[in-house]
Structure 1
Amino acid sequence: RCYILSNENGKIQLSLRQSRLNPKSKSKVEDVEITCIKDVKKGQLVRGYVKSITSSGVFFGLSPSLLGRILFQNVSPYFVQKHSLYEKYLPEGKLLTAKVLGVNGKEKHIELSLLPEDTGMPSILPESLGLPRYDAEEEKREADDREKREQLKAKTKRRIRNSESEQVWICCPPSSIHFPLLQETKPKKRKMCPTDESDSGIEVYYREEDDDDPEEEADKKKSKIRKPGEAPRLQVSVGFTWDEDMNTMDIPVLNHKEESSESEEEEDPHSKLKKQTKKEKELEKQKKEKELCKLEAALMDPSRQPQSADDFDRLVLSSPNSSILWLQYMAFHLQATEIEKARAVAERALKTISFREEQEKLNVWVALLNLENMYGTEETLMKVFERAVQYNEPLKVFQHLCDIYANSEKYKQAEELYHTMLKRFRQEKSVWLKYASFLLKQGQTEATHRLLERALKALPTKEHVDVISRFAQLEFRFGDPEHARALFESTLSSYPKRTDIWSIYIDIMIKHGSQKEVRDIFERVVHLSLAPKKMKFLFKRYLDYEKKFGTTESVLAVKRAALEYVETKSSLADI
């Protein structure tokens, strides 16, 4: 059972008050119904519901049509910085008791309070939150204001003391001319000291300062007390003689005038120059524009070589993954013996170049190794080498460092590094061949022969023919040609059908052997029983050689040999 208060716009407002449901009952009404603002009086305790919380306070519903406001300072005795805390402890619809602080009938404003001293209820916010109280905050603010006021007073006193200083006037009776020696603020009082006969008619004026400090006043009184018969002393900052004529006082003024006239004469040409520059502003602008155009054209020229660090910066910005540009940038700094800048460029390149460009990065690492080898120490070189091994394929980095050592004639370090490589990369054919080349260049042929034996033991069998062939080629280039020929012959006797080895042997003999030796090899090859395709290749090579180095008869002889081979093959096919 309920009482309908209103039915407007499809909304029905209901009431469960006993006074509405049973108007005839004489039971005491706990909450008097408030229908309008006239029912609210100052100092009255009312009950209502929390409607909303905004930045201006908590709005409190006293009736369906009447709202009151509670300022945050009247919600709780505690100081709250974050208003979101109120939303936690004052949810919408919460029933509370409040005290009416003020009623404004014209504007229909009702100010309420939830403070414990007003309502007699406990505080909305618990003490366990540890929030500061409003009264403590106010005391703190008052104390801060007091301190600021005292500091301001002290500052003003200091300024007054500093600004106030004694001012002395000297008065000469004959000409009645006064010379202010110290120009300060105007004095408050002037007192004339009694002059004795020995003062020669000079009157001394001084100012008596007013100060609140009793100690300073006492000091002044003591200073004023003089011994009998003692004349007052004049204290001036500049010394002068009493016997000089007054005409001498004009000399510095005249000198000053002369100096000022000279300075004006000196300033005249500057002013003329300024006037000239104003007239020629347009010409200067045109000159600047032409210079800018020249600079732009030079920068746009693709064939222009970079001449400064800024030029290189522009280039590497346009092509950040080009190792050639970075190496040129390093070389530019090295030409100017700027080693640290070259190192910085290399480090910058390693950070800038994309990780996908492995070869470009490796080029920069090799350049940095070269730089440290030439201008750094062994420690710095090893540090860069370790980093390079970490970020690149180790074998390539080892090989490049060996080449760097060999080119810089550091043969001992190179040999040590090769020994390390042979232990670490035993299965790599290129390591054995590179070390063999190094030894042959050093003239160590016997060591090369021993190295070949070690290589054949370490490498798999399928690599043996190729390794022997490569060693033989190195022997032809840097070592003993006879030993190289013996290596080829032994290999071809074991593997006669390897046309690739025959072809390499023929090429080397064409370069290093005689024509008779080359023809002997060709004659041996064309009489082998090989596949027709391979024989065709060998006959063609033989014919090309004879056309180049032989005679018409030798060319015809090769052709006849080729025809005989074809006829024999065809006859065998018919059978």
Structure 2
Amino acid sequence: MGKRRKRHRAAVLDLELREEVNAVVEIVKDSYVVLSVPEYNHAIGFAPLMDYNSQLLPQHHYDNGQCITVVVGSIPSSDPSGRLILLPKGSAQDSNISSSKRAKKKSDYKVGSLVEAEIIDIKPLEVILKFGVNLHGRIHITEVLEEDCSEHPFSKLKIGQKVHARIVAQAEHSAKTGRNLKWELSIKPSLLKDLEESTTSEAELNHSINDIIRAYVVKVDTEWVWLTVSRKVMAHLFILDSSVEPSELKEFQQRYSVGQAVKGRIIGVNREKRLLRLKAFDNQCMLENIDDTQKTVSSIAEHTKEGDIIGGRIQRILPGVGGLVIQIGPHLHGRVHYTEIVDSWVPEPLSGIHEGQFVKCKVLAVSRQAEGSVRVDLSLRSRKLDNLTTCAPRFEKINDLCPGTEVKGYVKNVNPKGCFIMLSRMVEARIILSNLSDEYVENPQKDFSVGMLVQGRVLSAEPLSGKVEVSLRKSTGSKSQKLDDISYSDLHVGDIVDGQVKRVESYGLFVTIKSSELVGLCHVSELSDEPVLDINACYKAGDIVKPKILKIDEDRHRVSLGLKESYFDSDLTDDENGNENDGGRVPMDISRAPQMSGGFNSTLVLPGREPRASVPPLQVALDEYEVSDQEGDQKAHEIANGNESNVKKSDRRLKEKARKQREIEISALEERALQKDIPQTPDEFEKLVRSSPNSSFVWIKYMAFLLDFADVEKARSVAERALRTINIREEEEKLNVWVAYFNLENEYGSPREDAVKKIFQRALQYCDPKKVHLALLGMYERTKQNELADELFDRMTKRFKTSCKIWLRRIQFSLTQGKDVEYIKSVVNRALLSLPQSKRIKFLTQTAILEFKCGVAEEGRSRFELILREYPKRTDIWSVYLDQEIRLGDTEIIRALFDRVTCLSLPPKKMKFLFKKYLRYEKAQGDEERIEHVKQKAMEYVEISRA
């Protein structure tokens, strides 16, 4: 069998192409005939009964055993699966003739040829024509009229009409069907000027940002309209770029149809994909001329600037007073502040607002952050959109506020000590508990809900600190005017006054005197003739009392009060509230007696306690007698006993020392109060986190509680719950939890380094990257992981290379690690190359201070000398330099430096500062001769300056 097949293959290969041979019909099929060639060892071949150039040959022309003459059309290759193709002699000749004619027809036309064609069909985007002999072409909608024409391109064309057209592109061969596609024709007047044959070049993508073009709709999707700009260039239009009117955006798909002309401005160019992005021209504002030609369409930066009026769609309604998230581009969102939703101050600004709603917005501000993200602040206030000046005022700057200004705002958050309100997107104000109402507010969280509209007046506005105080009390006049009603001069020792307990402390009561804002102290020893064992059991905040004035100190704004029964005469008449009980205390309804911990400066206790890491030791206002136990006892006894001579104005240093001591004692009181309320079981912690879900302090305490029992997995799950639960706006609270999570994984992670890095990468997505890096760095430094800290410093100085703080932290770390001088110099040089000019002096000065403190004083001196060589008149730098030398205590160097600086030619005001500093130093040394020397130098300077 194998030998026979080889002989058969050899016989077939002996055939020559186009050779005529005799064949015998073996089998007749519908579309082909199987033949054998006797002359060539009965080789088997196949003859098709039809092809593209001839009609089907009738089957009855061929019978089994019939002898016919055929022409070899194709010889099989060496592949065993190859076939021998034979053509009946008549069919082969027809095929050759047809092929030669087609070749001749095709050779007559080429790009640039002018042809006469007949329109056979008109479609929305193209016209189909026929020309020549069975040739077809098409005219694209952009190849009819010039670009500046406004009429529809196909309006003057009709089926059967003959036109002159120029070939602009050759017919391409379809790989799918094997046929030639239509020729590309154009009937633009500019291309038909010459009746002779001319060449036309393929149009290039020469469009640029801000060009105004006309395009035609190809397809309408839910959010995009696809358009054709030319035969090779496409464009697309986003729904929010099509209009600024909500009614038009709502009917986006109905406004466009295939073939419709759209005029737009280019806001994005993708040359690789030959794709443009458009913004509807009729309703858009002028855009910045920014070339985005190197960017892909998917990453085009949105061209938005302050003052633009744009269309938007409400993506999300944030909880509480978070405002709105508005989509203003395919990948761009903006924020609408809660005060920028409606024109007027209304109780429910979100009424009628729903997600997915189209809105008209005004861009208030655009800020591009360091990591590349864009923050856009928007307004939905219709009067602001129309630039009307009659809209309800929003104070954008603290400088616009002054005491007495009437303001409105929405409550942002509430705690037992007062609340914060939003006056505008830029200004917030604080209202302390005593200013919430003319009446006593028992439960601020109940009476003032988040989002509530309030109206009040400004008590104080400090532009430098950014603090604004507001009062909601109905009575007119400022705080100072109220004090005029009852002032210290109106009070007299021995008077019995009406008052209300403001706060209860272990050392006494703070009592607010009625019809005033004066606060007096009733020491625990003055509450009763008998010792008071538990002051909290006898008095509560809000109780009405009638104390007697024991002592008045107008200079120090202090009033001592007493409630002992022995202070009151037996014939004292009853007041309108009933007879006195227990030394002037009037019983109240227990249900109304509030549990209050004072104003904003009083002790913070759980629940709702802020993390101690973020709350500094609290300072105490002297006019409210907020002092520690010991100091309160001492000073109250001094005032009560009339020892005014012992109460004198302290020196500044003594006051500072006393203040710090008070802070320490108050912090201890806070801690003791906190320990009483710390939960002892998981169920108690669960109740606490439900009542204070946004308090990182509570969550971290919960984690620590679980770690005390070695339940690491449960602590991790609590950390994850905290990150999911804490409101997204509470960034600092979230950051506290992330830092606690770092420490947990650093202690219990396996492997520790990888576990910490995973949490770190997650934290970067939700918090300020710089703060997260600094938190991780602090952990590495605290746990002495110096190698990891060094690696982190390398990344930080690359990512935050313009941050003076980061570079200073690196220098401090290097100095504490004992790095050599050359290494420190290299870090300083790198920092100077990266930092902006405005930060370099600060950086060099702080570096010199660090060198003084870390034991390389010579390098610090050299650095200060270099700075002062360039800026010899900077007295602030001289002062810092002198302070560092004074701290080291080398008298010769210090005096030499003072002599240098006092010889400079500086303005009198600066020289006065330097001489006073010199004199203070010499007085501290106690050398009378040197003191006279300084005074003499000062006199010489005065005489020279007068001359």
Instruction: Please give the TM-score of this superposition, normalised by the length of structure 2.
Output: 0.28
Answer 1 or 2: which has greater strand percent. 2
Q: Which has the higher contact order (CA 8 A, sep 6+)?
A: 1
Q: Determine which structure has more spread, i.e. the larger CA radius of gyration.
A: 1
